[in-house]
Structure 1
Amino acid sequence: MSKHTLAQKLHRQIKRFRPNIIVTGTSVRTDVEQLAWTAARAAGVPSLALVDGWVKIPDRFLQKKRRSTRPTRYGVVDSGIKRVLVRTCKAAPSDVDIVGHPHLEKISADVGLARLQRKRAASLKVAFFSTPAEDIEADHGIEAIQALLPHLAAHAPLELLIKPHPREALDPWRQWLALFRVQQDGNCINAALVADKPTFDILVTADAVIGLPTSVLVEAAFAGIPVMVVSPEWWPSRNVVIDRYLSERIASNAQSIPLKLSELFKCIRADAPIHRDGSVKNATDRAVKAIQRLSVRHR
């Protein structure tokens, strides 16, 4: 659908339903939300944009100089992102509400609750979440697995579930897995590619989660699952939330992997700490109150 067609459709829908407020997310490098904010402003309807992340904040607001392509107010996850939004996108501080992260609150609570019903298997189940550094490449995920395997073997027998990123090429993973099964000495690590398995189901059953820098690790940690991050020093973009909440769980080079794995497996045998802070505490309620305040203000 072209921008013009989408803009017309948005104008028609607003005119038809006459909403009190329009609430959007803030996708990276897309103008769908910008069109919604513009249509809302033209119709005299207030809009609230929820910035539900810690990275690529300027990329969520493409038209930086045009007020008409901005929302009426913003809802952000914490005070740090409020400062980033004000500094890089020139948002007025008075227009920004700190609401937390409703999705992270919901997913971590749901996973944590579901895990109460799980039954531990005879062997440990470790999930590995990969992600490409730039495009669709699987090389970095495979390199990380290769670096982990010799040290994982010390904690065998275990089941290794490998979940590539949806954008990631699968053929390299299939080829690697076939070669791994041929070369494996014994049957101490049972590796499987679970590209089609829902992330939620993996988190519910995993004893531990390892991965390249990806938001799934944050969800796992907040749900109380032992987590380890393989974040090479050369990784092109830093994940602010991982650096903030999981800094002690990061293996930044091959030399640090044995220690971080040892710490990970100690956490499996003990009760893993559950992260709770302003990002998830009453986040849904705070977001709803921000919506209600803006709606009342413009009646």
Structure 2
Amino acid sequence: MNNGTVIFTVAGDAGGANALLPVIARLRAAGAALFPAGYATVPDLWRAKDETVLELPAETSIAQAGEMLRAHGAGLLLTGTSVNGVDLERRFVLAARAAGIPTLALLDFWSNYAPRFSSAPGRLDCLPDAIAVMDELAMKEMTAEGFPAHILHVTGQPLFDNLAELRAGLTPNRRKALRASVGVREGERLVAFACQPLNDVYREHGARAVLGYDEWDALPAVIDTLEALRAELPLRLLLLPHPREPKGKYDAAAARSWIAFAPSFTSSREVALVADLMVGMNSMLLMESVLLGTPALSVQPNLRARDALPMSRNGVIPRVERLKELPGVLRGLFGTPAGQALAAQHVSAAGRVAELALRLLNQGAVSGA
């Protein structure tokens, strides 16, 4: 039986870390004691949000993870999920299991379900006691992959909690000011591109072998197509590099007067809010853009795997697989109204995840032990 009272929180990817932030806030508001720990880009990300965070070495072992959990009086391990080659979340889950500490993982995206919880392909040997999932689609797909249904809890995506508020707060003056802040001139169409480190995610075999394309197939095609469209429309392209991508990765791609990087003082959501079109591959930002009222386009040349983007799979977000179709699709999307009602499960999702965490904490023991 575990007698700890602290919620020890671990994340190593930006997506999971950002999804955890509103949950951490809800837990603190409920009086819970938390100890955030992160690795890779997460410590800097959380510190920028005024979180005090322990920076975890990438070589942290399962035994060391267990020592940390005991030293900080952990009564619950709350993690994000990742597939980044380090994956400390899995080591902490195994350490917590050995120590009799309940575990809860928050899933933040509709792909790579099994690899997030497996030490080797197909094992599912790093399962926590509970997984908070975004919706019924994720639950259905995960059970089809062998996840026990009883550990899956549909809570919604905490990242979406404040999208309706952001969208409602965009006045014409606010929109004009935001567009000016990212360098958009009067009469220009603003296109944003959500970059992703696909070759890093699929480092073992390469993104092209797994997906059929990588970032260097999609982005240059979009740039070339927009360059041709500039004869008809004044355009500006803003690149939004992923937090895991090294500085300078896209410098050569941005070496044109009408292409720039989004300013550091502007969030990706602010760009999505005021852009005329958001383009990317299978980034979560495409979904957020649609929910913020901005049209989105998924460019996945020669796609050979299941589309990881749910709104692209169900047709809400158009998807281009044949690059010869890209000019016509892009041209047709300018001026297209985009609006998608925020699903009920994505309203107050952070509160539902926090309630689940507190329930597990109060149980004080691993389910089924």
| TM-score w.r.t. length of structure 1 | 0.78
Change beyond 3 A, Cα 1:16–1:177: closer
The aligned counterpart of 2:259 is 191
Counterpart CA distance in 2 for 1:298 and 1:244 is 40
Query: 2:164, 2:342 within 8 Å by CA — same for their partners in 1?
Result: no
Runs of 4+ in 1 over 6 A off after TM superposition: 169-172
Give, in whole Å, the separation in 2 of the partners of 1:26 and 1:253. 32
Look up the match of 1:184: none
Q: Which amino acid aligns with 1:18?
A: G
Structure 2 CA distance, aligned partners of 1:167 and 1:50?
Answer: 20
One-letter code aligned to 1:162: L
Match of 1:18 among 73, 76, 88: 73
Unaligned runs of 5+ in 2: 1-56, 180-184, 201-213
**Matches of residues 2-13 of structure 1 in structure 2 within 5 Å?**
3=59, 5-13=60-68
> 2:100 matched to which residue of 1?
44
Which of 141, 152, 157 is 2:234 aligned to? 157
In structure 1, the partner of 2:319 is 250
The answer for the alignment partner of 2:130 in structure 1 is 73
SS at match of 2:222: helix
Aligned to 2:144: 87
Please tell me whether the aligned partners of residues 131 and 168 of structure 1 are also in contact (alpha carbons under 8 angstroms). yes
Q: Which residue of 2 aligns with 1:273?
A: 339
Change (3 A) 1:19 1:232: same
- Are the structure 2 counterparts of residues 261 and 275 from structure 1 closer, same or farther at C-alpha, using a change threshold of 3 Å? farther
1:261 corresponds to which residue?
330
Gaps of 5+ in 1: 182-189
* Residues 235 and 191 of structure 1: CA distance in aligned 2, closer, same or farther (over 3 Å): farther
Aligned mate of 1:241, from 280, 302, 310? 310
Instruction: Give matches, 1:113-192, under 5 Å.
Output: 115-116=170-171, 117-119=174-176, 122-123=186-187, 124-131=189-196, 133-134=198-199, 138-154=216-232, 156-165=233-242, 173-178=250-255, 180-181=256-257, 190-192=258-260
Indicate whether 1:104 and 2:160 are aligned: yes
Secondary structure, counterpart of 1:261 in structure 2: helix
CA contact (8 A) 2:191 2:275 kept: yes
CA–CA distance in 2 between the matches of 1:164 and 1:44? 40
How many percent of aligned residue pairs carry the same amino acid?
25
More helix by share: 1
Residue pair 2:190, 2:275 contacting (<8 A) in 1 also:
yes
- Of stretches 219-228 and 204-213 in structure 1, the one that deviates more from structure 2 is 204-213
Give the secondary structure class of the aligned counterpart of 2:282. Answer: coil
Q: CA RMSD in A?
A: 3.2
For residues 229 and 207 of structure 1, what CA distance do their matches in structure 2 show?
Answer: 15
State how far apart, in whole Å, the 2-side matches of 1:66 and 1:86 are: 12
Listed one character per residue, the Cα deviations across residues 43-102 of structure 1 (whole Å, up to 9, x for unaligned) are 2211111121101111101236475x32111111122222332332x3321121111111
Q: Assess, with a 3 A threshold, how the Cα gap between structure 1 residues 142 and 96 changes in structure 2: closer, same or farther.
A: same
Mapped partners of 1:80, 1:114: distance in 2: 30
Q: Please give the secondary structure, in 2, of the residue aligned with 1:20.
A: strand
In the alignment, which residue of structure 2 is the partner of 1:187?
Answer: none
- What is the CA distance between 1:279 and its match in structure 2? 5.2
The one-letter code of the counterpart of 1:22 is: L
- C-alpha displacement of 1:240: 3.4
Contact in 1 for aligned 2:276/2:334 (Cα 8 Å) = no
Cα distance in 1 for partners of 2:314, 2:361 equals 34
Q: Give 2:91's match in structure 1, choosing from 28, 35, 53.
A: 35
Residue in structure 1 matched with residue 204 of structure 2 by the alignment = none
The reply on whether 1:229 has 2:298 as its aligned counterpart is yes
Distance 1:43 1:234, change over 3 A: closer
Kept after mapping to 2: 8 A contact 1:213/1:242: no
- CA distance 1:21–1:105, change in 2 (3 Å): same
Are residues 12 and 80 of structure 1, via their aligned partners in 2, closer, same or farther at CA, if it must alter by over 3 Å? same
* SS of aligned partner of 2:335: helix
| Conserved 8 A contact 2:135-2:155 | yes
Task: Note closer, same or farther for the CA distance 1:171–1:66 as it changes in structure 2 (3 Å cut).
Answer: closer
Question: Of the two, which has the highest radius of gyration?
Answer: 1
**Any idea what SS the aligned residue of 1:126 has?**
strand
Q: Provide the C-alpha distance between the structure 1 equivalents of 2:58 and 2:254, rounded to a whole number of angstroms.
A: 42
- With 277-286 and 50-59 compared, the bigger mean Cα shift is at 277-286
Offset, 1:143: 2.1
Shifted more, 141-150 versus 94-103: the winner is 141-150
